[in-house]
Amino acid sequence: MNRKYGMSLIFLACALLLTLGALLIGNTRDMHVKPDSENVMTTSAEVHKDDLHKKIQAYSEKYKMEPIDAKVDSVWKAIPGYNGLEVNRKASYKKMKASGDFDVNKIVYKEVSPNVHLEDLGPEPIYRGNLEKPMVALLINVAWGNEYIPKILKTLNDHQAKATFFFDGSWVKKNPDLAKMIYEEGHEIGNHAYSHPDLNQRSQEETMDELKKTNNVIEGTLGIKPKWFAPPSGSFNQVTVNVADQLGMKTILWTVDTVDWKKPSTSEMVSRVVSKVENGSMVLMHPTKPVAEGLNTMITEIQAKGYQLGTVSDLMSEKRIDTQAVN
């Protein structure tokens, strides 16, 4: 009886041990299954994230545009730099991460500044903007031609275009109201010396006097100090450029000349100018009858060629015209 009872206890103990073993094995399996499932999900998300980063990286390498340094050209002298363009990978990823899908329309760009700037070049004349910048600037030298100024201003306003007017100092003194009208229309104002002299024939002291007197009358009339100087008749020498630089002004010439003072036919003038403009061109003109009559067509046809119109400051700026998606 005792022996049978003892054997029963042994069998019972064995059964309990087997049951506990099975339970422990089952629990252990359950413990491993859940973490493994979580690891699979995490890895999948990270792979998708990594894939999006790779696609943005590949796109950024394909469409990167290097900045262009300002330089002194043997023909065009000082030429301003132009910002480069590259993908802002962090900002682009932020815009795409919600969907997790690469979308070229959500690419964010950033401009990259050149290493050499116009200000680093020293006193040099400037004939044009950067050859990669699809912009044209209109230069209007004013020493006479008052009767044509209102029509020119109206045309510019109709096109919402801004020009750079270079004022002769003696003209400003005689015509302060007209000078204010031009400035209040939002146009840029430059210095054109005081008495329309041939500065190539003037001493440093005489040149300094011409430019200072003009700056003083412009500042007294409009409350601004010009940063651009245009030598009358385009006559200058290195002394002229150095004096302007000492007064905080860069010397501006031109790329394309209307030669409007020779009184060409309006259509001939417009056709010649439009055919010559390209990236970075600066177009010289005066308040004359051909300009007053032809400016509307000139602006329309320049813009039709894909160029924006801007002031000298706009053109000399390193800022890019279009920082949208690159095709």
Q: Is CATH 3.20.20.370 the classification given to domain 124-316?
A: yes
Burial class (CB in 10 A: 0-12, 13-18, 19+), 310: buried
Least Cα distance to 217 among 184, 239, 189, 249 occurs for 189
Gyration radius of the chain over CA positions: 36
Any idea which residue has 């010009």 for tokens? Answer: 226
Amino acid 48: pLDDT: 61
If one compares 55 and 38, the residue with the highest pLDDT of the two is: 55
Q: Which two tokens stand for residue 45?
A: 């998300």
| pLDDT tens sequence across 209-242 | 999 999 999 999 999 999 999 999 999 999 999 9
Give the number of other CB atoms < 10 A from CB of residue 239.
Answer: 17
Burial profile 242-281: b = 16 or more Cβ within 10 angstroms, e = fewer: bbbeebebbbbbbbbbbbbbeebebeebbbebbeebebbb
Indicate the domain borders of the chain.
46-122, 124-316
Give the number of other CB atoms < 10 A from CB of residue 282.
Answer: 25
Amino acid 40: pLDDT: 43
**β-strand partners of 86:** 110
* pLDDT exceeds 50 at position 42: no
| pLDDT tens sequence across 99-144 | 999 999 999 999 999 999 999 999 999 999 999 999 999 999 999 9
| Stretch 263-289: mean pLDDT | 98
Amino acid at 280: G
Any idea which residue has 């006559």 for tokens? Answer: 235
| pLDDT tens sequence across 67-101 | 999 999 999 999 999 999 999 999 999 999 999 99
